[in-house]
A and B are shown apart, each in its own frame.
Chain A
Amino acid sequence: MRLHHESRLDRIFRLVCLVAVSLPLVFGAWFVVDTFVHAWPGLSNPTLRLGLFAAVEQSARIVGLALLLSFPPGIGAAIYLEYFASQRFFTRLIQHAVTSLATVPSVLYGLFGLALFTLLLGIQSLFVTTALTLGVFLFPVIVERSREALRTVPASVHEASLALGADPWRALVHVVLPLALPKLASEVLLVIARALGTVAPLLVIERLVVQPQVMRIKPLATRVFDSVADPDPMQQTVAAAAILTLLALIVILHVVAHRLAGRQGLSERGVL
């Protein structure tokens, strides 16, 4: 049933809005198709495939180490902010620090990591510096996403377990965390997707090396940039293939995350 009377102005307005919504969609479809077309000749080349595979492996190592370092404190901070913090001045300060860290442009983390880990702490390995910097960059993201995951557990469930005599630690480990687990896992996958696509801090560290040393295998992120920035037309195929690999990984992570988050709602598992 159409309640509104549609005047000519309305029809024009609707049309303009429709055009506006189709612009990003057309843009997105165009870049996916275009990347496919450009990457196709490159993907049949076995050396290129091997190179990309090595890059993905290196990326996985770096992101893995970064997550290993920043996930435990990240979720710890999220648990503190959600369950143990009272509304004091200090808690608000921590919250502001987290949101501020999350809005700082990613290049700055590159400079920060370089100054802190290489110049002040004297870490020589480029691999370790890169992973540590990525870890610092991911920390606020992990805190915010874990908080969102924890918020999907209703406060009543937590309070019920406390009322039944569970101490705060047991309530957390036996009640809240298992319920938040699917959502938490899905958020981790999204963080991994984010980390894979982060180029700027890695690039800064790679370009400003302390000693004439380079990482033997470049991670996918900086490899993508190198081939995009290379004026050699042969490299354009490499760039497209690398971009397609990155895009494919991110799509897979997103689909799995979506499945995980959507699958086990509280009501479906008979809890509520």
Chain B
Amino acid sequence: MFFVCALLSLVLFTALVTISALGATGFFSQTTQHAAIQLSDLFVTTVITSVFALAFTVPIGLLAALYLSEFASFPARKWLDESLRFLAHVPPIVYGYFSVATFLPALNKLLPALDEHPTLAGGIALAGMLVPSFLAQSRLALAAVPQQLRDGACALGASRFSTAWLVVIPAAKARLLGALMQSASRAFGETMIVLVVFRVYSSRQTTIPETLTTFVVPNQTTILREFGGLQALFSAACVLLVLALLLNLVRLRLEHPARGDVR
């Protein structure tokens, strides 16, 4: 009985892959016309937005995790951990709303060019959501570094900075990279924040950019029978699926290195 339940995960996974592939080859499309889309454009926008997001997320998240694991006192650490963990669980739509309603307009006053660069705005909004989860995971990675290594560095006369930079981070490297991969796959797959920023905040632009994920959500309610572009949606979905699975594979490889890779 339990085996059947476990089998269900395999069945769902196969169904997901098959249906995406079938959809991409036009199985569900009623019309034969091909919607003109540029998958490569969508892909490039996705990558640019994610790179912006990660460029903000990684330094902030890593330094904050270092503060928590190397500097903060025990009560402060406990309190900070709790509140940051809650932030990591806030749903994306909340971050999206806040970015559009308050955060990006406020930032725009400091950085007037933000209006003309929707991908940058989307990236910054994404970073707001990614920082807490990346931080939580880097925190775990740094906490897994044995205290003896820090004590050893201290005994050899290393300063705090060199201990963190030359001892703690290299020791946690594999898990930090794993956290990075997970953040990257969340950035690629995130829909709501990017959607809200592109469609609401940047709606005054002449051409609103689309990422792979926002492309899947049509602008208005569309009746499927008249919709020839379902194939295009599934093609975008296929690219996303492949990306997500690849990143997952890399992450698994980093976290559980094959025998012989162990340093």
Interface residue ranges, A against B (CB under 8 Å): 3-7, 9-10, 13-14, 16-21, 23-25, 27-28, 30-31, 34-35, 38, 72-77, 79-81, 83-85, 93-94, 96-101, 103-108, 110-112, 114-116, 118-120, 136, 139-140, 143, 190, 193-194, 196-200, 203-204, 206-212, 214, 221, 224-225, 228-229, 231, 236, 239-240, 243, 246-247, 250-251, 254
- For residue B16, CB closer than 8 A to chain A, the reply is yes
Interface residue ranges, B against A (CB under 8 Å): 1-10, 12-13, 15-16, 19-20, 22-23, 28, 59-64, 66-68, 70-72, 80, 83-84, 86-87, 89-98, 100-103, 128, 131-132, 135, 154, 157, 159-161, 163-164, 182, 185, 188-192, 196, 199-200, 203, 213, 216-218, 220-225, 227, 230, 233-234, 237, 240-241, 244-245, 247-248, 252
Contact B247 A24, beta carbon cutoff 8 Å: no
User: How many inter-chain residue pairs (CB < 8 Å) link A and B?
Assistant: 280
Contact A24 B91, beta carbon cutoff 8 Å: no
The A interface, classified by DSSP as helix, strand, loop or mixed, is helix
Q: Nearest Cβ distance between residue A52 and chain B, in whole angstroms?
A: 15
Contact A84 B217, beta carbon cutoff 8 Å: no
Residues of B within 8 A of A19 (CB): 63
Contact B60 A98, beta carbon cutoff 8 Å: no
Residues of B within 8 A of A79 (CB): 2, 5
Sample of 7 A–B contacts (CB below 8 Å): A9-B161, A13-B164, A28-B86, A73-B4, A76-B5, A107-B240, A140-B9
CA distance A139 to B213 in the complex (A): 21
Question: If A13-B164, A105-B213 touch, does A20 touch B71 (CB 8 Å cutoff)?
Answer: no
Chain B, Cβ-Cβ closest to A244: B94
Residues of A within 8 A of B227 (CB): 208
CA distance A54 to B154 in the complex (A): 60
CA distance A199 to B122 in the complex (A): 18
Residues of B within 8 A of A197 (CB): 90-94
Residues of A within 8 A of B96 (CB): 228
Other contacts beyond A13-B161, A194-B89: 6, CB < 8 A: A17-B70, A20-B63, A21-B63, A21-B72, A30-B103, A250-B90
Contact A199 B101, beta carbon cutoff 8 Å: no
Q: Which of B93, B189, B199 contacts A221 (CB 8 A)?
A: B93
Chain A, Cβ-Cβ closest to B88: A24
Contact A108 B240, beta carbon cutoff 8 Å: yes
Residues of B within 8 A of A104 (CB): 16, 189, 241, 244-245
Q: Nearest Cβ distance between residue A238 and chain B, in whole angstroms?
A: 11
Q: Which of B62, B92, B221 contacts A214 (CB 8 A)?
A: B221
CA distance A252 to B241 in the complex (A): 34
Q: Which of A21, A106, A116, A239 contacts B189 (CB 8 A)?
A: A106
Contact A112 B71, beta carbon cutoff 8 Å: no
Q: Nearest Cβ distance between residue B60 and chain A, in whole angstroms?
A: 5
Chain A, Cβ-Cβ closest to B100: A228
Q: Nearest Cβ distance between residue B155 and chain A, in whole angstroms?
A: 9
Question: If A79-B2, A103-B185 touch, does A119 touch B223 (CB 8 Å cutoff)?
Answer: no
Contact A76 B101, beta carbon cutoff 8 Å: no
Give the one of A6, A28, A212 with max B CB within 10 A.
A28
Residues of A within 8 A of B2 (CB): 76-77, 79-80, 83-84
Residues of B within 8 A of A74 (CB): 5
Residues of A within 8 A of B216 (CB): 107-108, 110-111, 204
Residues of A within 8 A of B60 (CB): 20, 23-24
Q: Which of B10, B16, B161, B189 contacts A94 (CB 8 A)?
A: B10
